[in-house]
Structure 1
């Protein structure tokens, strides 16, 4: 069974497009899937089906400025509105409330990949006591040159260029991420996965905004989101009762090739949290899209949820 839902974004401008996938069997829990920067939730259809087969309801949406929310509903590709970096997190909470209204009294989990993991970490610091567990996949520690990128973007916004797109800021924030891609930069997304088929599919997806301009204001919110979650002060706001599964590839630049993943784990451990960390050696950012390990990755997430149902 599939429900399509829409709700007003926290930005008070956009109608967010979401979906609730319901298994045929009696559900044992709910997992809300939070996609990453520039993509959309239907890139995770294989994972969604695996969750359904494991008897979990799956909730997912396309963020403001992304996917169907941007292209079909609001004509706002790359534009997140003007209500600040918590916008996507608050939208995920709105979706949570819609799902819980339909299906109350079930254990509720979050799964977030890449920027989705940043959103999940933001969510955990405010609404973590509503969750049975959270999986963060391909997350970040302290992002290189983050302060420099923020300064450039703040100046752009102050100069009334918030709705433009500054390539200097994008390069300052993300230009270093191709250092371990021996195939070179052809499509501009090589760091996500070494499989050229995944790269091609990602770059040519009509609902994927990754290779399209993002406004300076939205990029600033993206950077501020990372700034908010990048210290032990963030971890202190997360309930210690919340179990966390922290996974990534050790050749993922977003996770600083493993060091950022362990940085996040150590912030959480040092503040008394139950966190399990797993790195997949030799793999880049989208570990769930490598054919040889994708089933293992999802099985690990399902095992984690089953353990905490």
Structure 2
């Protein structure tokens, strides 16, 4: 169910003076009961979440979604897509999410805030709850993973070497294929190279034709991403995971990012071991990486709304 919505955009200056673009969707025919903040994935834009936002509006949720630094309209230009900034910029990306949360709280006093996070955005969210455990009332992780293992350690030094030789803003198809090259291996027919995202041909075409999606990112992005993955996998930082924060992990069973469900189960286990009291997981049979753009997206959105409404009571 969708509803009449008002949409508006605004920008704010981050701590390093980067202008961050934020989208906002507001239901107009009912009293809001909560807010959903969205943390989008790599090589995409928050604008792609409009359909989901309007469905949430129909259930009484206000929605905020920012374009991460180096993405969408936050990026300085199309050519600058993927460049997050100087060293330590992924930590700033997480800080940007906290700034949006603070803005949400100020504009909507008393309303609970839930963070929906997808893919790269979910890896940012995993760090977010360690750094800012009290800013949100629940976390939804989509298209995520719990343990990268040896490929992460091997890739780390190759990426650093490539960056040393070519520079932070240089792009390398070799580095990209090293990190993500295997994702499309199991999917046929291979018409676009992005078949791992979704079974829905129309949604796939939208992604391929979007200037803000699927761009080859600079080497420094991979360096920043790997640093973040190491941080969230560290046993010491895991001690900062809040036990009272409700968490649900959702993934396609055919999502290579989550190692076809195996990495998702490891993530569930991590939070279980850390003592998270309200913890759920669901794998969608046949679904690939972008569960909100999959052929069963209505089922996914229904599950998310039920989870949200149960937490609100």
TM-score interval (norm. to shorter): over 0.9
Cα drift, residue 71 of structure 1 = 5.4
CA offset at residue 161 of structure 1?
Answer: 1.2
In the superposition, relative to structure 1, how do residues 83 and 100 fare at CA in structure 2: closer, same or farther (>3 Å)? farther
- In 2, distance between residues paired with 1:42 and 1:3? 11
Counterpart residue number, 2:49: 44
Residue-pair matches, total: 303
Query: 1:189 maps to what in 2?
Result: 194
- The superposition leaves residues 109-153 of structure 1 with CA deviations (integer Å, 9 ceiling, x where unpaired) of 100011111111111111122221110001012226111221112
Aligned-residue offset at 1:190: 1.4
Aligned-partner SS, 1:57: strand
C-alpha contact 2:56 2:63 (8 A) present in aligned 1: yes
2:72 aligned residue (67, 78, 100) = 67
| Aligned-residue RMSD, C-alpha | 1.8
Change (3 A) 1:234 1:258: farther
Unmatched segments (≥5 aa) in structure 1: none
Report the alpha carbon displacement of residue 14 of structure 1 after superposing the two structures with TM: 2.2
Give the alignment's TM-score, normalised by structure 1: 0.93
How much does 1:257 deviate? 0.3
Aligned to 1:31, the other structure's residue is in SS state strand
Specify the SS of the correspondent of 2:196. helix
Gaps of 5+ in 2: 1-5
Contact 1:9/1:16 (CA < 8 Å) preserved in 2? yes
Contact kept, 8 Å, 1:33 with 1:112, in 2: the verdict is yes
For 1:177, which of 172, 183, 204 is the aligned residue? 183
CA contact (8 A) 1:64 1:88 kept: yes
**Deviation of the 1:160 alpha carbon:** 5.6
Is the 2:38–2:117 Cα contact (8 Å) retained in structure 1? yes
Distance 1:216 1:50 in 2: 37
Which residue pairs with 1:307 in the alignment? 310
Aligned equivalent of 1:218: 221
Which of 228, 245, 249 lines up with 2:248 in the alignment? 245
Whole-angstrom CA distance in 1 between matches of 2:11 and 2:80: 16
**What do residues 137-188 of structure 1 show as CA deviations (whole Å, max 9, x unaligned)?**
010122261112211121233346111012222111111112211323x322
Q: Residue 142 of structure 1 contacts residue 230 of structure 1 at CA under 8 Å; is this kept in 2?
A: yes
